[in-house]
Chain A
Amino acid sequence: MSELFEIDNLQIQARKEDGTPIPIVKGVSFDVKAGQVVALIGESGSGKSTISLATMAYCRPGLEFPGGEVRLHGKDVLSMAPLDQRALRGNNVAYLAQSAAATFNPAITIGEQVTEAAVLHGVLTQEEANKRAVALYHALELPEPERLGRRYPHQVSGGQLQRLMAAMALVSGPDLLVLDEPTTALDVTTQIEVLKAFKKVIQQEGSAAIYVTHDLAVVAQIADHIVVLYSGEIQEQGSADLIINHAKHPYTKRLMAAVKPTPTAGMGEAMDEQHERDVANIEVKNMTAGYGRVVNGKPEITVLRDINVKVKNSHVVGIIGESGCGKSTLARVMAGLLPAAKGEVILDGKKLAPDMKNRSQEELQKVQFVYQMADTALNPRQLVGEILGRPIEFYRGIKGKARREKVAELLRLVELPVEFEGRYPSELSGGQKQRVNLARSLAANPEVMLCDEVTSALDSIVSSNVIKLLKKLRDQTGVSFVFISHDLSTVGSFADEIVVLYAGRVVEQGPVDEVLAPPYHPYTRLLISSVPELRIGWLEDTMQKREMAVGIARGVEITDTGCPFFNRCPIAIDGVCDVDVVPVREPSKDHFIACHRTMDEIAEVEAAPQQVLHGFERAEPEGDKAARAH
């Protein structure tokens, strides 16, 4: 056979205490041709990561290969001697783990780590490896390729680290590259940057790749062939075009339904006017917060600046922005977990103490914080019944049988079986843990729930189920939500109002249908354009756009003066945007955009995106003057 890599009827199983086998992967077969990218798609628990590890004849402790073959160049790697398998790993088959931050050793320079495998396997000398690494940095469009190798991992951004991991895998020129969810943990804007670099470098190197993910929209951009997995079995496989455009299998259709839609006005279910009561339930006024010692109302490291956010009764306010923009800090300030340096937090018209230690029990009860990671938010040594029962007892003094009834009621509300009260968190799946996490906050009978990225750690199907649950809770309980996410489509489908944060400042804020419709703040525009569409060729089309060219390439720079988005903005005016205080414009009632450009100018850009590129070219003094003269 001429195939580069074949998996033939692969089976992987675990064993119970008494030795009965539990099949994890049940006879999977597919092959990868040279230069081809094959995507394994499925949700967590579908066996996709287990299969991807099997490509290197590796399986996690406790698993075994009872049957099947994994052939590289026609040779079965599963039956090889361990020493030959070792020679294979990192050399013929390279593996890219999900988290770059966990892969790199913080104490060793990037260059040394990138070249290590190739030198260790004796494929290249250190010098050759260094040269090849620099060539790869160029191909991956990393900044300062010549000097990058001397930096340490903490000195580059998350997206850059992810690309460096690709460089690490590619240095020895592997025949097969295995990428395990390489973009799942990234922001949309970073995801595009990484995807684009991966695609380019895979084409350039001509190596075959297996791309593991749960996101069909990402797969559509990068894969030639798609394998859909569910519960360790192949449901459907075929060319990317076939699966994306003519999916037959119901499970594939379900995955497609879970793909996030492009955020547009009217996508959500914003609350009807008649339900509205115009009372600010929780409000943040002129708030500045950060970390370190506070001097004159200014902390050592300022994370948030002059924030004004109002959450009306029974409303959902979505807060979005890239990681590091301060969205979690905002929720932590509201909850009193991080005292603000300046400004006020007001609940029901009453000023709250900045630090939770000085808040009354009643105030604590009314504002509940829901953590992002259910794994760390639930005490592993407490039963679900105890986790949910404690707030009920603590705040409301309900004990014994009545408490158990309340717990059962809560479990039913979050759509979990009542028997779960006798389980430990480790006995639940990721989605179920997140439901318990939500239920614990609900147990306090709160007025405001602060949800910090509650769906980010979950895969698409589970996360859409959690969103469904949140919508139900909003309708049934009348609780106000602050919903933090870096995912604009999730926020768009759930929130009544949106606050867009960039580098600790509010750049746009208003009702959801206003924010998701023109005129956009240039940053909002960038975020919207970055959400991958379920369409082959979307990535190439998007990268043609002007906002991408500038916005994706550069990182966040925190400035004291002017507009924080200045260095990534396609329509920034040199000498104005980076210096002057940003004016806040109000194109319609309650809709605020902080931008130096007038609404007319922004509308003009929206109307004719490609032509305006030249008119607003940066670093062109005449153009800037002309623009300023307007």
Chain B
Amino acid sequence: MTDVTQSTQAESDQEQTIYDELPDAPPKKKLKLSWTGKLGVAIVAFWVIMAVIGPWVAPFHEADIIADDSYLPPGSVTEGEGTHWVGSDYLERDIWSRILWGARMTVGISFVATLLAYMIGVTAGIAAAVKGGWIDMMLSRANDAILSLPTIMLGLLIVVALGSSIPILIATAAVIYASSVYRIARALGQDIMVMDYVESAQARGERIWWIIFREVLPNAVMPLATDFGLRLVFVVLFISSLSFLGLGIQPPAADWGSMVRQNLEGLQYGSLAPVWPALAIASFTIAINLIVDDISAKSGGDLARKMI
């Protein structure tokens, strides 16, 4: 008999050496991004790096009133200082430098707020799914109450009442977005709770923490990570919206949302000043969406269904 199979299985029975069980397991899949996904990663990486080193690579300080005039067109040169690559703003500041400085605010604050929203939302959501009963009931109703309020209105209310500072902005965004994270985490948790391996762990007598952190959470990580990207986008937009309304980051600190608002009147003079920070917001959010789309396409419709 020719060796038809390549057996990986240790055989004790002789007859099994001929025509072994065929493996039907798919080959190990590695996450491989398409070119759009890679582009997304590159753009996100650029902004994240800028959030860290922006102030050092920016040609000017964010608060420097340095240009010859306000609303200068891109490429204008100030004698003895340098080139304003994308022009100057209404207060004769360099827009490119302010965008680089603003990355720290917009990307940084959003990231911290989203992370916080995730810690609150995932813990509460999975706990509700695992415990069920009245704990689930209470958490879910409280969550429904938050979800029923329009996010921007709720944000405005909190900021107006407590004053605008960075910690308050972060806390507000975290609380508001934790409620939608809670819903996804709970739904994912409930899906996983009915799997046989969770029941098997319960039948073994495992405690609740083991079940949450070893059985349920590892299986929810992929969808949650994908959702993290989307949620980050919402938080960026939320903070930008608050800044646009004047309740977010306070001047002279640069932030992409407030930069759009402050330079809005430049449009009347034919200046593109508000477009550049808007493009920065767009590039960051679209790039994240490219990555998320790519990952969900790779992990199939399963994930996409859970995201809804």
A and B together in one complex = yes
Would you list which residues of chain B between 13 and 53 have a CB under 8 Å from chain A? 13, 15-16, 18-19, 21-28, 30, 32
> Are B12 and A415 neighbours in the complex by a CB distance under 8 Å?
yes
> Are B22 and A335 neighbours in the complex by a CB distance under 8 Å?
no
For B173-211 the 0/1 string (1 means CB < 8 A from A) is: 000000000000000000000011101101111100000
> Are B21 and A251 neighbours in the complex by a CB distance under 8 Å?
no
Report which of B1, B16, B23, B202 forms a contact with A45, defined as CB distance below 8 A.
Answer: B23
Tell me, yes or no, whether B8 is within 8 Å of chain A by CB. yes
Tell me, yes or no, whether A16 is within 8 Å of chain B by CB. yes
Tell me, yes or no, whether B9 is within 8 Å of chain A by CB. yes
Tell me, yes or no, whether B219 is within 8 Å of chain A by CB. yes
Q: A377-B200, A394-B206, A426-B26 are in contact. Are A417 and B21 (CB under 8 A)?
A: no
- Residues of A near B10 (CB, < 8 A) are 412, 415-417
- Residues of A near B195 (CB, < 8 A) are 376
Would you list which residues of chain A between 379 and 424 have a CB under 8 Å from chain B? 379-382, 390-391, 394-395, 412, 415-417
> Are A44 and B9 neighbours in the complex by a CB distance under 8 Å?
no
> Are A461 and B21 neighbours in the complex by a CB distance under 8 Å?
yes
For chain A, the count of residues having a C-beta within 8 Å of the partner chain is: 49
CB distance from B211 to the nearest CB of A (A): 11
> Are B19 and A427 neighbours in the complex by a CB distance under 8 Å?
no
> Are B19 and A230 neighbours in the complex by a CB distance under 8 Å?
yes
- Residues of A near B214 (CB, < 8 A) are 382
Q: What residue in chain A is nearest B22 (Cβ atoms)?
A: A45
CB distance from A471 to the nearest CB of B (A): 12
CB distance from B301 to the nearest CB of A (A): 12
Tell me, yes or no, whether B218 is within 8 Å of chain A by CB. yes
Tell me, yes or no, whether A465 is within 8 Å of chain B by CB. yes
CB distance from A432 to the nearest CB of B (A): 7
Residue among A250, A378, A381, A430 with the highest chain B CB neighbour number at 10 A: A381
Q: A44-B24, A394-B206 are in contact. Are A381 and B19 (CB under 8 A)?
A: no
Q: How large is the interface on B (under 10, 10 to 19, 20 to 34, 35 or more residues)?
A: 35 or more
- Residues of B near A426 (CB, < 8 A) are 25-26, 28
> Are B203 and A335 neighbours in the complex by a CB distance under 8 Å?
yes
Report which of B5, B15, B18, B21 forms a contact with A431, defined as CB distance below 8 A.
Answer: B21
Q: A337-B199, A415-B10, A465-B16 are in contact. Are A429 and B22 (CB under 8 A)?
A: yes
Report which of B19, B27, B200, B218 forms a contact with A254, defined as CB distance below 8 A.
Answer: B19
Q: What residue in chain B is nearest A379 (Cβ atoms)?
A: B197
Tell me, yes or no, whether B162 is within 8 Å of chain A by CB. no
Report which of A250, A361, A417, A430 forms a contact with B9, defined as CB distance below 8 A.
Answer: A417
Would you list which residues of chain A between 234 and 265 have a CB under 8 Å from chain B? 250-251, 254
Tell me, yes or no, whether A528 is within 8 Å of chain B by CB. no
Residue among A16, A361, A465 with the highest chain B CB neighbour number at 10 A: A465
Main secondary structure of the interface of B (DSSP, over half): loop
- Cα A390 to Cα B214 with chains together (Å): 11
- Residues of B near A468 (CB, < 8 A) are 13
> Are A44 and B218 neighbours in the complex by a CB distance under 8 Å?
no
- Residues of A near B202 (CB, < 8 A) are 356
> Are A427 and B28 neighbours in the complex by a CB distance under 8 Å?
yes
Report which of A43, A376, A415, A417 forms a contact with B22, defined as CB distance below 8 A.
Answer: A43
- Residues of B near A369 (CB, < 8 A) are 200, 203
Tell me, yes or no, whether B308 is within 8 Å of chain A by CB. no
> Are A394 and B13 neighbours in the complex by a CB distance under 8 Å?
no
For B135-146 the 0/1 string (1 means CB < 8 A from A) is: 000000000000
Q: A356-B202, A379-B215, A417-B8 are in contact. Are A430 and B24 (CB under 8 A)?
A: yes
- Cα A254 to Cα B1 with chains together (Å): 13
- Cα A280 to Cα B187 with chains together (Å): 44
- Cα A479 to Cα B233 with chains together (Å): 57
- Residues of A near B219 (CB, < 8 A) are 379-381
Would you list which residues of chain A between 544 and 592 have a CB under 8 Å from chain B? none
Tell me, yes or no, whether A543 is within 8 Å of chain B by CB. no
- Residues of A near B9 (CB, < 8 A) are 415-417, 432
Q: What residue in chain B is nearest A395 (Cβ atoms)?
A: B204
Report which of A46, A394, A416 forms a contact with B205, defined as CB distance below 8 A.
Answer: A394
Q: A44-B24, A381-B219, A444-B204 are in contact. Are A254 and B197 (CB under 8 A)?
A: no
CB distance from A149 to the nearest CB of B (A): 30
Q: A231-B5, A428-B25 are in contact. Are A364 and B16 (CB under 8 A)?
A: no
For B263-285 the 0/1 string (1 means CB < 8 A from A) is: 00000000000000000000000
Q: What residue in chain B is nearest A419 (Cβ atoms)?
A: B8
Q: What residue in chain B is nearest A380 (Cβ atoms)?
A: B219
> Are B22 and A46 neighbours in the complex by a CB distance under 8 Å?
yes
- Cα A378 to Cα B215 with chains together (Å): 10
Tell me, yes or no, whether A371 is within 8 Å of chain B by CB. yes
CB distance from A411 to the nearest CB of B (A): 9
Report which of A371, A415, A427 forms a contact with B25, defined as CB distance below 8 A.
Answer: A427
Q: What residue in chain A is nearest B32 (Cβ atoms)?
A: A17
- Residues of A near B153 (CB, < 8 A) are none
- Residues of A near B12 (CB, < 8 A) are 415
For A596-615 the 0/1 string (1 means CB < 8 A from B) is: 00000000000000000000
Tell me, yes or no, whether A470 is within 8 Å of chain B by CB. no
Tell me, yes or no, whether B160 is within 8 Å of chain A by CB. no
Chain B contact residues, CB within 8 Å of chain A: 1, 4-5, 8-13, 15-16, 18-19, 21-28, 30, 32, 195-197, 199-200, 202-206, 214-215, 218-219, 221
Chain A contact residues, CB within 8 Å of chain B: 16-17, 22, 43-46, 230-231, 250-251, 254, 335-337, 356, 361, 364, 369, 371, 373, 376-382, 390-391, 394-395, 412, 415-417, 426-432, 440, 444, 461-462, 465, 468
**A16-B27, A427-B25 known, 15 other contacts, Cβ within 8 Å:** A45-B23, A230-B19, A231-B4, A254-B19, A336-B203, A371-B196, A371-B200, A376-B195, A377-B200, A394-B204, A415-B10, A416-B10, A417-B8, A461-B21, A462-B21
Can you list 29 pairs linking A and B with CB atoms under 8 Å apart?
A22-B27, A45-B24, A230-B4, A336-B203, A337-B199, A364-B203, A373-B196, A377-B197, A377-B200, A379-B218, A379-B219, A380-B219, A381-B218, A381-B219, A382-B218, A394-B204, A395-B204, A415-B9, A417-B10, A426-B26, A427-B25, A428-B23, A428-B25, A429-B22, A432-B9, A432-B21, A432-B23, A461-B21, A465-B13
Closest CB pairs A-B (n = 7): A45-B22, A381-B218, A377-B196, A429-B23, A45-B24, A379-B197, A376-B196
